[in-house]
């Protein structure tokens, strides 16, 4: 909320206090001031009221004239050159004398007035137009000089006369629980308490009312929706521009002046926090207003010129014919105050905050009025506010006071809270005495009485009954005024050790980053197009979790895989001329459960009906490093072909498992076709084989499907993997040491020729199961043969953990292995 | 041959051998010399052939002499071998020289995302103060996200957390803060409780340099007997000191949050201008860091903890905010860009 320093100073004496000091006090007193800005122009005197005595033509120019201006009775009239055409002798006008600072009327820049020669004639000052004085939206704004009232005294200071002083605007963060402080008076009360000066309440005086409007009635259909409703009838109003000070203050807080009536309702809304609405009473039908829910199919053309379809959730004000306003939110266009209006029905009421919020939400309207009703207005203050507005209307629009019609009750219950002073000790380790509590709280309208039992009985003012209802609320109120900074700092007693965090995520991060992949974090809220890779991935719509109120299509549905995000990340980097793009992400994927025991009307729904599972996924695009050590691959080291990248990706996965102490011997790979993110011929599903021989799927890896690569514009084949960390989490054994045997290891190479259709793993498994003395089997080379055959060379490591193996023993094992391979795979051997 | 003649021959062999050794300058000729004098057909062996002609008495004496000379030659050979070896090593070292400024070879390492780094740091600092990390779902129910946190439906405080609602049901939403994790934990634990949670939250906001529709929060809560506001100040000051590596001036500014009372916003002196005012702090000299307060008695009661017996404090803060402050990141979108030029700086 914008708070005008000038306006504020009407209710608290701010002499000797700067706007920044007030801002600091408010900030440390729970009302954060985000910034302090200057409003209005920096206009300086001497700037006085003068009278035009003579107007003569300029000897050297047609469009400008010479004037003689008198600025006081004693001294001689001075000569001022003027180009405006609207001046006549006898007018009172603002005169800027040499030394004054006004504004350039074209661009608002500073204009310093001095004696000057204008076409050979000396001018001793300047007659001012409204823009030159920083008066922007004046209703009579024209090209000419500002003409003042004839009765104005010569020599009067124009800055004071027109209220041209600079104002400072404090931008106060509104607090959702403090509707009472969404007003100048509310913040003035806080400031008064914080700087320890008295609060001055706004004044009004009402004459006796006439009988105008005595037949009017108001009806509230449901007191829950509207506890209190008042309507003041006012006759004989003259619509016109607002007085300068009201217009200026409204502008200062960002409201556009409209006319005196509308401005006064806005002024009181801002001043007291009570929203109000003025109807042109002649336009209303039936001399009766009803507060009720809208009927289905009812409509209202609102003040902002929009047609609104209403429903029974919306609370409205209706005359005998139709809806004329949305209660607490916005009025209707038809009963708007216009230039022809002469009589008013001025509504001031208290509406249910939740109902106003609901109405505003449904219609998509937030107004200054709804903001305040939602936070709660003080029912006890409604009538005062109405009287204040009526007073101003009588004063500035010549309104004649008619009847005040009311319905409902504006009485508030007296509420008091018992406060134990020991609570300050318990919650903040400080001692606060009852007189301190009294001194801190009474400027805010609380009153305290001491009870005999070391407690205080505290009466809550009506305007604070919404946010202060419990002892703890009082404790907070006292502490913030006493000063949080004075609460002594200590530490909790060190009685607990934290349970260690499961470091799975960090193990994965370290393993993958050590292997050269960069970690990234990607949005989990994606577009439907990315979720399905532009319809290439079939999805079960029932299982998706999507948001009902997305701000953009980009963030609409929770992801079901980490892969599309990584593909987009590769494309993004590719477009930044990066070539080797290796990335991984650890994150959740989301799914609705199949069967939901939805109890939608339950009060405390605790089950979300969804699953969130943690995954890790990675992508490799660009070159792989050249592999050193044993390299069975076919490609020469410079070419880096795509099938190598598949096995490189497989290596990343196996290294990761190895870091997690999951033996690669327990992994199984199967060719897949149903996972549509991957190339069907170059992808695999990874399984974990437990000791009981059961398998669990851990995830997938392989080349990104060429169709997807094309849709996203991947330049090169990219390889990706995605693994389920929820399952991996359950598999990690803690390592236990196997004895390191000291007997020598015998190494033999074995070249096995088999037909192409036989997978490497079948060969390896037969070798492994054919000898108990084998401790390791490695594939060291692979090359194709003619006749649809291939040759696989393995390096076999034999060891007997108890004794040294003889050459004969090893040869016996080799024979066994060869025999098995021959009988099971028809393998042949070469030396 | 007589003893004397043989002795003479021996002396001659010795002399020649030493002479040969002296002039030797190459390692591979060393073996030739050994063979020439000590080999089976060597000069010394040749002399020893004459041994048979000597008398029984003369043999041992001569044998002894011959052995002495053999040992002498062997010793000299060995000595010369060491000299030559040293010489050859020197020669090798003086020629083998590489350009050590050529680039390193090997896999480039990957980098760990700044949000991972800051998250680990936060969890470990609070871990040191006894707070155990817990997790909870990102898809939440209205109850845990709002109702149990003292924010009933139609409370305007819900405005400040524009919430995404989902197709799953009217009460199922994307959590707008991580405090719900604490509530789920409070249902299962009894005081004393010290937990923190860190995770992803969602707010229905436009993407800007400072806002993203999802971000991360970390929340902590401590519940025990005799827990005070001063302890809250102590714990958070300590956190700030360790995270930023130096004690920073802080202030606790009153604020309002539905689930704490009293509530405060914690500001620290600006890291960039030390309080004198700069663009980052909006010329205020202070940076808003986090929200905190004493746990509202309603929240304790909702979790079946007696607010008369126990009290507690809690705080919540944006993880991105701290990462941005600590690493000087000026646009939140960098964190979700996957841009290698960004990632490789961490
Ligand atoms: Zn700064």
pLDDT in tens, A96-126: 999 998 888 777 788 899 998 888 889 999 9
Centre of ligand 1 from the C-alpha of residue B276, in Å = 6
Of A497, A525, A605, the CB nearest to B213: A525
**What integer pLDDT is reported at residue A210 of this predicted model?**
86
Of the listed ranges A157-171, A311-325, B107-121, B208-222, the least confidently predicted one is A157-171
Identify the CA nearest to A795 among candidates A767, A772, A830: A767
Q: Which of residues 398-457 of A touch B (CB under 8 A)?
A: 426-429
Q: From CA A735, how far away is CA A659, in angstroms rounded?
A: 11
**What integer pLDDT is reported at residue A138 of this predicted model?**
46
**pLDDT band, residue B345 (cuts 50/70/90):** very high
Q: From CA B163, how far away is CA B339, in angstroms rounded?
A: 29
Centre of ligand 1 from the C-alpha of residue B324, in Å = 14
Please report residues of B whose CB lies closer than 8 A to that of A427.
228-229, 294, 311
Q: From CA A594, how far away is CA A472, in angstroms rounded?
A: 45
Q: Closest chain A residue to B223 measured between Cα atoms? A: A492
Q: Which of A370, A373, A484 to mutate to test the interface with B (most CBs of B within 10 A)?
A: A484
Of A353, A509, A605, the CB nearest to B143: A605
Classify residue B321 by its DSSP letter: H
Centre of ligand 1 from the C-alpha of residue B325, in Å = 11
Q: Is the pLDDT at A575 greater than 90, yes or no?
A: yes
Inter-chain residue contact B137 with A610, CB threshold 8 Å: yes
Classify residue A652 by its DSSP letter: H
DSSP H or E run through A825: helix A807-825
Q: Is the pLDDT at A651 greater than 50, yes or no?
A: yes
Centre of ligand 1 from the C-alpha of residue B274, in Å = 6
Q: Is the pLDDT at B238 greater than 80, yes or no?
A: yes
Note whether B135 and B184 are within 8 A (CB).
no
Rounded alpha-carbon distances, angstroms, from residue B228 to B126, B186, B280, B314:
18, 19, 33, 11
Q: Shortest Cα distance from A65 to chain B (angstroms)?
A: 50
Q: Shortest Cα distance from A373 to chain B (angstroms)?
A: 10
Task: Specify which residues A546 forms β-bridges with.
Answer: A557
Of the listed ranges A489-503, A770-784, B185-199, the least confidently predicted one is A489-503
Phi, psi dihedrals of residue A93, rounded to the nearest 5°: -145, 160
**What integer pLDDT is reported at residue A638 of this predicted model?**
44
Q: Which of residues 64-93 of B touch A (CB under 8 A)?
A: none
Q: What angle in degrees, to the nearest 10, is found between the helix axes of A184-195 and A260-272?
A: 40
B60's tokens: 């041992």
Inter-chain residue contact A427 with B229, CB threshold 8 Å: yes
Identify the CA nearest to A269 among candidates A367, A201, A343, A136: A367
Of the listed ranges A527-536, A797-806, B64-73, the least confidently predicted one is B64-73
Tokens 């025991």 belong to residue: A597
**pLDDT band, residue A673 (cuts 50/70/90):** confident
Q: Hey, is the C-beta of B188 within 8 angstroms of any chain A C-beta?
A: no
Q: How many CB atoms lie within 10 A of CB A753?
A: 18
pLDDT tens figures, A379-413: 999 999 999 999 999 999 999 999 999 999 999 88
Q: What is the dihedral of CA A804, A805, A807, A812, to 10 degrees?
A: 170
Mean pLDDT, to the nearest integer, of A136-140? Answer: 51
The helix/strand/coil state of A368 is helix
Q: Which of residues 19-58 of A touch B (CB under 8 A)?
A: 27-30, 32, 34-35
**What integer pLDDT is reported at residue B216 of this predicted model?**
97
Q: Which of B233, B262, B339 to mutate to test the interface with A (most CBs of A within 10 A)?
A: B262
Q: Which of residues 301-330 of B touch A (CB under 8 A)?
A: 311
Q: Which of residues 225-284 of B touch A (CB under 8 A)?
A: 226-231, 233-235, 237-238, 251-256, 258, 261-265, 282
Mean pLDDT, to the nearest integer, of A573-594? Answer: 94
Q: Shortest Cα distance from A461 to chain B (angstroms)?
A: 20
Q: Hey, is the C-beta of A599 within 8 angstroms of any chain B C-beta?
A: no
Count Cβ atoms within 10 A of the Cβ of residue B199 and give its class: 0-12 exposed, 13-18 middle, 19 or more buried. Answer: buried
> Considering chain A, what percentage of its residues have pLDDT values greater than 70?
96
Q: Which of residues 621-650 of A touch B (CB under 8 A)?
A: 625
**What integer pLDDT is reported at residue A637 of this predicted model?**
46
Q: Which of residues 452-471 of A touch B (CB under 8 A)?
A: 470
B296's tokens: 């509202």
Inter-chain residue contact B336 with A521, CB threshold 8 Å: yes
Mean pLDDT, to the nearest integer, of A809-818? Answer: 95
**What integer pLDDT is reported at residue A732 of this predicted model?**
83
**What integer pLDDT is reported at residue A641 of this predicted model?**
66
pLDDT tens figures, A349-381: 999 999 999 999 899 999 999 999 998 899 999
Inter-chain residue contact B171 with A605, CB threshold 8 Å: yes
> Considering chain B, what percentage of its residues have pLDDT values greater than 90?
51
Please report residues of B whose CB lies closer than 8 A to that of A517.
110
**What integer pLDDT is reported at residue A639 of this predicted model?**
45
Q: Which of A487, A559, A602 to mutate to test the interface with B (most CBs of B within 10 A)?
A: A487
Please report residues of B whose CB lies closer than 8 A to that of A555.
213-214
Higher pLDDT, residue A143 or B182: B182
B211's tokens: 């806002």
The helix/strand/coil state of A207 is coil
Q: Closest chain A residue to B135 measured between Cα atoms? A: A501
Q: From CA A798, how far away is CA A154, in angstroms rounded?
A: 118
Q: From CA A528, how far away is CA A530, in angstroms rounded?
A: 5
**What integer pLDDT is reported at residue A629 of this predicted model?**
46
Of B137, B214, B233, the CB nearest to A489: B233
Q: Hey, is the C-beta of A558 within 8 angstroms of any chain B C-beta?
A: yes
- The string over B76-101, giving b where at least 16 C-beta atoms fall within 10 Å of a residue's C-beta and e elsewhere, is bbeebbeebeeeeeeeeeeeeeeeee
Q: From CA A220, how far away is CA A228, in angstroms rounded?
A: 8
DSSP H or E run through A331: strand A330-331
Q: Are strands A217-220 and A288-293 parallel, antiparallel or unpaired?
A: parallel
**What integer pLDDT is reported at residue A598 of this predicted model?**
56
Topology at the third CATH level for domain B114-343 = BirA Bifunctional Protein; domain 2 (3.30.930)
> Considering chain A, what percentage of its residues have pLDDT values greater than 90?
67
Of B156, B174, B261, the CB nearest to A476: B261
pLDDT tens figures, B160-183: 668 999 999 888 999 999 999 988
pLDDT tens figures, A403-454: 999 999 999 888 999 999 999 999 999 999 999 999 999 999 999 999 888 8
Q: Is the pLDDT at A603 greater than 80, yes or no?
A: no
Q: What angle in degrees, to the nearest 10, is found between the helix axes of A807-825 and A760-770?
A: 140
Residue partners of A89: CB distance under 8 A and separation at least 6? A52, A53, A54, A55
Q: Is the pLDDT at B1 greater than 80, yes or no?
A: no
Q: From CA B19, how far away is CA A454, in angstroms rounded?
A: 117
pLDDT tens figures, B97-106: 888 888 887 7
Q: From CA A724, how far away is CA B250, in angstroms rounded?
A: 43
Q: Which of A200-204, A380-384, A688-692, B56-60 has the highest mean pLDDT?
A: A380-384
Q: Hey, is the C-beta of B160 within 8 angstroms of any chain A C-beta?
A: yes
**What integer pLDDT is reported at residue A691 of this predicted model?**
85
Tokens 């939608």 belong to residue: A600
pLDDT tens figures, A236-246: 999 998 888 89
**What integer pLDDT is reported at residue A626 of this predicted model?**
58
Q: Is the pLDDT at A194 greater than 80, yes or no?
A: yes
Cis-peptide, bond into residue A358, ω within 30° of zero: no
Identify the CA nearest to A596 among candidates A652, A542, A670: A542
Q: What angle in degrees, to the nearest 10, is found between the helix axes of B229-244 and B319-327?
A: 40
**What integer pLDDT is reported at residue A253 of this predicted model?**
92
The DSSP annotation for A422-486 comes to HHHHHHHS----HHHHHHHHGGGT-EEEE-TTSEEEEEEPGGGTTT--SHHHHHHHHHHHH-GGG
**What integer pLDDT is reported at residue A599 of this predicted model?**
58
Mean pLDDT of chain A: 90
Q: Is the pLDDT at A576 greater than 90, yes or no?
A: yes
Q: Hey, is the C-beta of B20 within 8 angstroms of any chain A C-beta?
A: no
Of A27, A510, A600, the CB nearest to B169: A600
Tokens 């004085």 belong to residue: A133
Tell me the H-state helices in A323-433.
353-363, 368-375, 382-397, 422-428
Count Cβ atoms within 10 A of the Cβ of residue A345 and give its class: 0-12 exposed, 13-18 middle, 19 or more buried. Answer: buried
**What integer pLDDT is reported at residue A211 of this predicted model?**
86
Handedness of CA B39, B44, B48, B50 (dihedral sign): positive
Tokens 């956190």 belong to residue: B239
Q: Is the pLDDT at B28 greater than 90, yes or no?
A: no
A257's tokens: 């002046």
**What integer pLDDT is reported at residue A625 of this predicted model?**
67
Query: Could you tell me the pTM of the whole model?
Result: 0.82
Residue partners of B2: CB distance under 8 A and separation at least 6? none
Q: From CA B325, how far away is CA B286, in angstroms rounded?
A: 13
Inter-chain residue contact B237 with A357, CB threshold 8 Å: no
Q: Hey, is the C-beta of A490 within 8 angstroms of any chain B C-beta?
A: yes
A328 sits in the region (left: phi over 0; alpha: psi -120 to 50; else beta) called left
Mean pLDDT of chain B: 90
Note whether A464 and A417 are within 8 A (CB).
no
Classify residue A554 by its DSSP letter: T
Centre of ligand 1 from the C-alpha of residue B177, in Å = 27
Q: Which of B106, B126, B144, B164 to mutate to test the interface with A (most CBs of A within 10 A)?
A: B164
One-letter-per-residue 3-state SS of A114-174: CCEEECCEEECCEECCHHHHCCCCCCCCCCCCCCECCCCCCCCEHHHHCCCCCEEEEEECC
Centre of ligand 1 from the C-alpha of residue A485, in Å = 21
Mean pLDDT, to the nearest integer, of B271-277? Answer: 89
Of the listed ranges A268-272, A747-751, A754-758, B92-96, the least confidently predicted one is B92-96
Inter-chain residue contact A572 with B155, CB threshold 8 Å: no
**pLDDT band, residue A595 (cuts 50/70/90):** low
Residues with CB under 5 A from ligand 1 (ion): B 270, 272-273, 278, 281
Q: Are strands A47-57 and A92-96 parallel, antiparallel or unpaired?
A: antiparallel
Higher pLDDT, residue A291 or B25: A291
Q: From CA B25, how far away is CA A248, in angstroms rounded?
A: 109
Of the listed ranges A502-506, A791-795, B123-127, B150-154, the least confidently predicted one is B150-154
**pLDDT band, residue B193 (cuts 50/70/90):** very high
Q: Is the pLDDT at A139 greater than 50, yes or no?
A: no
Pairs across A and B, CB distance < 8 A:
272
Of B110, B154, B169, the CB nearest to A354: B154
Q: From CA B11, how far away is CA A767, in angstroms rounded?
A: 68
pLDDT tens figures, A302-337: 999 999 999 999 999 999 999 999 999 999 999 999
Mean pLDDT, to the nearest integer, of A739-763? Answer: 93
Q: Which of A72-76, A276-280, A597-601, A665-669 has the highest mean pLDDT?
A: A276-280
């Amino acid at each position: 909320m914008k708070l005008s320093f000038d306006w504020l100073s009407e209710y608290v004496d701010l002499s000797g206090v700067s706007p920044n000091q007030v801002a600091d006090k408010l900030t440390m007193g729970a009302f954060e001031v985000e910034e302090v800005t200057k409003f209005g122009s920096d206009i300086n005197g001497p700037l006085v009221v003068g009278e035009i005595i003579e107007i003569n033509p300029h000897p050297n120019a047609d469009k400008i004239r010479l004037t003689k201006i008198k600025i006081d009775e004693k001294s001689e009239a001075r000569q001022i050159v003027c180009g405006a055409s609207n001046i006549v002798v006898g007018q009172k006008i603002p005169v800027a004398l040499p030394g004054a600072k006004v504004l350039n009327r074209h661009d608002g820049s500073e204009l310093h007035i001095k004696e000057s020669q204008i076409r050979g004639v000396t001018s001793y000052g300047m007659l001012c137009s409204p823009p030159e004085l920083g008066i922007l939206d004046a209703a009579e704004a024209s090209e000419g000089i500002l003409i003042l009232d004839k009765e104005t005294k010569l020599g009067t200071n124009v800055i004071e006369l027109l209220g041209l002083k600079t104002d400072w605007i404090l931008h106060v963060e509104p607090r959702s629980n403090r509707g009472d402080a969404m007003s100048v008076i509310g913040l003035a009360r806080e400031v008064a308490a914080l700087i320890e000066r008295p609060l001055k309440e706004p004044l009004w005086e009402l004459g006796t009312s006439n009988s105008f409007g005595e037949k009017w009635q108001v009806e509230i259909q449901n007191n829950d929706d509207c506890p209190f409703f008042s309507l003041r009838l006012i006759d004989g109003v003259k619509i016109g521009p607002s007085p300068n000070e009201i217009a200026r203050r409204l502008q200062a807080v960002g409201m556009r002046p409209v006319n005196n009536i509308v401005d006064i309702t806005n002024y009181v809304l801002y001043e007291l926090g009570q929203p109000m609405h003025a109807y042109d009473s002649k336009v209303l039908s039936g001399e009766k207003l009803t507060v009720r829910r809208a009927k289905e199919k009812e409509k209202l053309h609102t003040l902002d010129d929009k047609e609104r379809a209403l429903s029974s959730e919306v609370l409205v004000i209706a005359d005998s014919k139709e809806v004329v306003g949305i209660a607490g939110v916005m009025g209707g266009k038809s009963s708007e105050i216009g230039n022809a209006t002469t009589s008013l029905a001025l509504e001031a009421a208290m509406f249910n905050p939740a109902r106003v919020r609901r109405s505003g939400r449904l219609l998509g309207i937030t107004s200054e009025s709804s903001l305040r009703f939602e936070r709660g207005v003080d029912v006890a203050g409604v009538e005062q506010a109405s009287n204040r507005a009526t007073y101003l209307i009588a004063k500035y629009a010549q309104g004649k006071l008619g009847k005040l019609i009311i319905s409902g009750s504006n009485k508030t219950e007296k509420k008091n809270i018992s406060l134990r002073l020991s609570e300050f000790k318990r919650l903040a380790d400080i001692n606060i005495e009852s007189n301190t509590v009294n001194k801190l709280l009474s400027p805010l309208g609380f009153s305290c009485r001491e009870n005999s039992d070391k407690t205080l009985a505290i009466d809550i003012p009506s305007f604070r009954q919404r946010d202060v209802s419990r002892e703890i609320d009082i404790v907070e109120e006292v502490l913030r005024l006493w000063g949080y900074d004075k609460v002594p700092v200590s530490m909790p007693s060190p009685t607990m050790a934290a349970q260690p965090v499961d470091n799975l995520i960090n193990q994965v991060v370290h393993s993958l980053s050590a292997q050269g992949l960069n970690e990234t974090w990607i949005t989990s809220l994606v577009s439907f197009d990315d979720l399905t890779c532009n319809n290439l991935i079939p999805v079960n719509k029932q299982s998706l979790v999507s948001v009902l109120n997305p701000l953009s299509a980009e963030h609409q549905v929770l992801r079901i895989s980490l892969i599309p995000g990584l593909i987009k990340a590769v494309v993004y980097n590719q477009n930044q001329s990066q070539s080797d793009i290796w990335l991984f992400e650890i994150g959740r994927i989301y799914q609705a459960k199949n069967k939901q025991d939805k109890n939608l009307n339950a009060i405390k729904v605790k089950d979300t009906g969804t699953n969130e599972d943690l995954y890790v996924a990675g992508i490799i695009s660009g070159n792989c490093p050249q592999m050193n050590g044993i390299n069975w691959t076919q490609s020469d080291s410079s070419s880096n072909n795509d099938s190598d990248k598949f096995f490189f990706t497989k290596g990343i996965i196996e290294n990761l498992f190895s870091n997690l102490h999951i033996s690669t011997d327990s992994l199984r790979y199967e060719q897949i076709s149903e996972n549509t993110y991957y190339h069907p011929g170059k992808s695999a599903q990874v399984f974990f084989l437990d000791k009981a021989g059961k398998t669990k799927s851990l995830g997938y890896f392989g080349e990104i499907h060429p169709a997807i690569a094309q849709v996203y514009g991947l330049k090169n084949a990219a390889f990706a993997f995605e693994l389920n960390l929820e399952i991996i989490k359950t598999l990690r054994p803690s390592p236990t040491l196997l004895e390191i045997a000291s007997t020598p290891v015998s190494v033999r190479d074995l070249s096995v020729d088999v037909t192409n259709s036989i997978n490497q793993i079948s060969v390896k498994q037969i070798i492994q199961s054919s000898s108990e003395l084998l401790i390791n089997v490695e594939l060291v080379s692979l090359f194709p043969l003619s006749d649809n055959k291939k040759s696989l060379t393995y390096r076999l490591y034999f060891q007997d953990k108890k004794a040294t193996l003889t050459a004969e023993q090893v040869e016996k094992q080799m024979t066994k292995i060869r025999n098995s391979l021959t009988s099971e795979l028809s393998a042949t051997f070469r030396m | 041959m007589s003893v004397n003649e043989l002795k003479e021959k021996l002396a001659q062999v010795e002399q020649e051998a030493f002479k040969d050794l002296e002039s030797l300058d190459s390692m591979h000729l060393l073996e030739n010399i050994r063979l020439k004098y000590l080999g089976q057909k060597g000069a010394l062996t040749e002399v020893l052939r004459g041994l048979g002609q000597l008398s029984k008495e003369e043999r041992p004496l001569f044998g002894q002499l011959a052995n002495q000379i053999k040992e002498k030659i062997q010793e000299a050979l060995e000595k010369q071998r060491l000299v030559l070896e040293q010489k050859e090593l020197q020669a090798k070292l003086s020629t083998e020289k590489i350009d050590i400024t050529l680039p390193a070879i090997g896999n480039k390492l990957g980098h760990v995302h700044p949000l991972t780094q800051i998250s680990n740091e936060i969890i470990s600092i609070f871990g040191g103060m006894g707070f155990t990390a817990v997790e909870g779902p990102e898809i939440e129910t209205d109850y845990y996200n709002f109702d149990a946190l003292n924010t009933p439906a139609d409370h305007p405080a819900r405005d400040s957390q524009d919430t995404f609602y989902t197709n799953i049901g009217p009460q199922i939403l994307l959590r707008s803060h991580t405090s719900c994790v604490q509530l789920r934990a409070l249902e299962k634990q009894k005081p004393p409780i010290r937990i923190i949670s860190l995770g992803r939250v969602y707010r229905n906001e436009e993407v800007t340099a400072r806002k993203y529709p999802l971000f991360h929060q970390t929340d902590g809560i401590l519940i025990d007997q005799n827990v005070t506001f001063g302890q809250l100040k102590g714990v958070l000051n300590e956190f700030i000191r360790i995270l930023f590596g130096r004690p920073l001036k802080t202030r606790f500014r009153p604020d309002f949050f539905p689930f704490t009372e009293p509530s405060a916003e914690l500001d620290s002196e600006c890291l960039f201008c030390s309080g004198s005012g700069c663009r980052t702090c909006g010329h205020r000299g202070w940076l808003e860091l986090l929200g905190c307060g004493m746990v509202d008695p309603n929240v304790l009661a909702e979790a079946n903890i007696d607010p008369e017996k126990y009290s507690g404090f809690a705080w919540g803060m944006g993880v991105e905010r701290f990462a941005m402050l600590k690493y000087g990141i000026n646009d939140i979108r960098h964190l979700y860009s996957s841009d290698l030029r960004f990632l490789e700086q961490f």
